[in-house]
Structure 1
Amino acid sequence: MRPVLEEGEHQSSLEMPLYPPSVNVAQRPITRSHELTAERSAQIDEGFFRLTTSLLSIINMRILTEGGVGVAKFFPAGTVALVSGAGSGIGRAATIAFAREGAAVVASDRDESGLAQTVTTLREQGYEALGYAADMGREEDVRNLVNFVVASYGRLDCAFNNAGINIELDSDYDIAEFDRTMAVNSRGVFLSMKYELEIMREQRGGTIVNTASVMGIVAIPRQPGYVASKHAVIGMTKQAALQYGRRNIRVNAICPGMIETPLIQRRPGISLQAVHDHARTATALGRLGTPEDVAEAVIWLSSSRANYVTGTAMIVDGGFTAA
């Protein structure tokens, strides 16, 4: 980056006369000296303001640039974050983003292979991260996971409850699959908040972000379990926000639209290209979202920069639901 002032520029600016050489200030009428002083003072004030504003802009740009000296982080040192569903997609992107922004991260997923890959990626990038395999639909797993976080770091500041599944079903769907969808997507969020809130109440503060979906706001055919479970997530999010706001705990939901994750890539009978083609016409931005698009929203909601935001369901869908 170019320095704010080169040495030569600095020197010449100091040597520049206040008035052009052809102007003899002493020859100006005495009666105008006060006018000149006030006019010149205003010019100097304006110039100083512009210079200060420019310098501050350059400094801020430098601070916020990745890799710059004194990079501004979203989270202070000592912040501890928990991310479930961290083995791929949005969860992996959020785990990396939390670590990048200064948090120590505990990543969790029932897919041990994907989880190991996420943790390895973080450590290779020089970030602090731990992994813990858990099925968020099982209470014992959830309780043990939260206990592991506290045993490892002594606290829990941010929780991103992201584990979820999606099973397409017909009208004669298997009730066991419906129950499984509800168990992971809804009951899993309930169990996660139950044990996370116990810790956050004791430490008198924290943030929780739950992964819902635009299908928690609208609906589509063939996915009764998914639609019902994501509506439930938004309802639980609002309820918890109301109950715990006075205890300095903020609870929000994130509602992704069409995001290129394994859930979309593995949809039976639909090619990924067909999904891309649909996104071009169905979204205002004309494309699928990326996991990183959603992760950035999660980071903001989890940080102090969103201090007055709670009980909301933030839509990240490229304008899909705007029509």
Structure 2
Amino acid sequence: MIKLSLKNVSISILILFTIFTIIIFSNLFILNRESQCLQSYVEHQTLINSIRKPTRTITNVNHDGNHLAILIPFRERFNQLLQFIPHINSFLNRQNISHEFFVINQIDNYRFNRGALINIGFQLAQNSCTYIVMHDVDLLPLNDQLSYGFPARGPFHVSSPDLHPKYHYETYVGGILLMTNEHFKLVNGFSTNYFGWGLEDDEFYARLKEANLQIYRPENIKTNQSNTFIHIHDQNIYKRDTAKLFNQKEITRRRDRQTGLNTTKFNLLTIYNMTIENIEFRIFNVAIYCNVDRTPWCLKPSSSSSSSIKFKKQQQPKNRR
């Protein structure tokens, strides 16, 4: 009996030792994972904060203390960018607008997400600007009466329905929209549920109205829908992704109260300092985050077998100033 008891005690001690060892190693593993996440977050924030003093593409500087960040949500539109940068730079210089370009280039395998890219652009630009313009790369203003000045009273929709060559419904706020940093943060930026083309600006309109922000638009413009802008989108070359997958149509018709500027996750991979016709600008290569269980329509129809993107470690851009 004594031998049996001693054997049982030995087995019990061994079991307790094994459990204790497992608990210790589990805690060490959790601490290591948390440390890696914290390190990744610190590296990410350090890289974002280092963009505080950018190379500015300014030839004329205004004296009101305001500085405009041009946020360009972007993917595979380099032919349009070649036209956009010189045109907008000249347009803004004629208005004596202090400005710089932020080309936010989505290079992951998910469907295009304009709202998320604008949120990312704001996060990258907010330390060096007082206001932003969300600007489609394929829409160029032709009339110098269109002001890009500081929108102190409220959001200023440059490409209003009365002037836009294609979209004429009253609640339209896409194309070119100016906002102060404070107002963009007030509405928590854009929803990030909108993968593919369309509707993210309609949901953004609802955010503006809920925040009681009055939307201002150009007045007394001497041009019309045919000659105020040039729309350089060629649908034969750049086909829009209008597919509605899974329950996307149902979800994206609702006001989104779960995602926005404060939930936007991304990985900043590289920054390129570029010039077009001696005009300096930067391209920020980013990979956005998608919760595939929550928004499965972020996956491209041809790559539905891919459930996630493996992010690479952030690289410090060699030529950043």
Fold match (TM-score > 0.5): no
Query: Looking at both structures, which has the greater relative contact order when contacts are Cα pairs under 8 Å and sequence separation is at least 6?
Result: 2
Give the structure with the higher percent strand. Answer: 2
After TM superposition, the score normalised by the length of structure 1 is: 0.30
After TM superposition, the score normalised by the length of structure 2 is: 0.31
